[in-house]
Structure 1
């Protein structure tokens, strides 16, 4: 006698669960605005990181004047 095959059900990721709740609670315009705002935050962080790195490179390459 063989045992019945067991099917694994994938557990949704935390992000997927949050998006599902978000879709129930917010209108599509609010979702779009929230995602756009978050994208802007991430882009600002990336630019700030780039500025810091550029400043470090400039500080290392510019010789101090006597």
Structure 2
């Protein structure tokens, strides 16, 4: 009596999604595309406002230093 040939078993490796990926997947299930777009646009506006505020502060500092450095 012969033993059955041994076949290697298939191994499946799936990457565990990051928290952000999982959150976006849930978001896409719960919200329509219009709401997703609105939320994305709102967040981009927040980031742009922060960038403008940072630029404004840096400009004010540079102006103060140039005025203070005058004879």
TM range (shorter): 0.7 to 0.9
1:29 equivalent to 2:5? Answer: no
Residues 22-53 of structure 1, C-alpha deviations (whole Å, 9 max, x = no match): 00100000000000000000000010011011
Runs of 4 or more, structure 1, over 6 Å off, are none
Task: Provide the aligned C-alpha RMSD in A.
Answer: 2.2
Partner residue, 1:51: 56
Segments of 5+ residues of structure 1 without an aligned counterpart are none
Partner residue, 1:10: 15
Q: How many residues align?
A: 64
Distance 1:27 1:64 in 2: 56
Segments of 5+ residues of structure 2 without an aligned counterpart are 1-8
SS of equivalent residue, structure 1 residue 62: helix
Cα deviation, residue 65, structure 1: 7.7
Q: What TM-score, normalized to structure 1?
A: 0.78
Q: What TM-score, normalized to structure 2?
A: 0.73
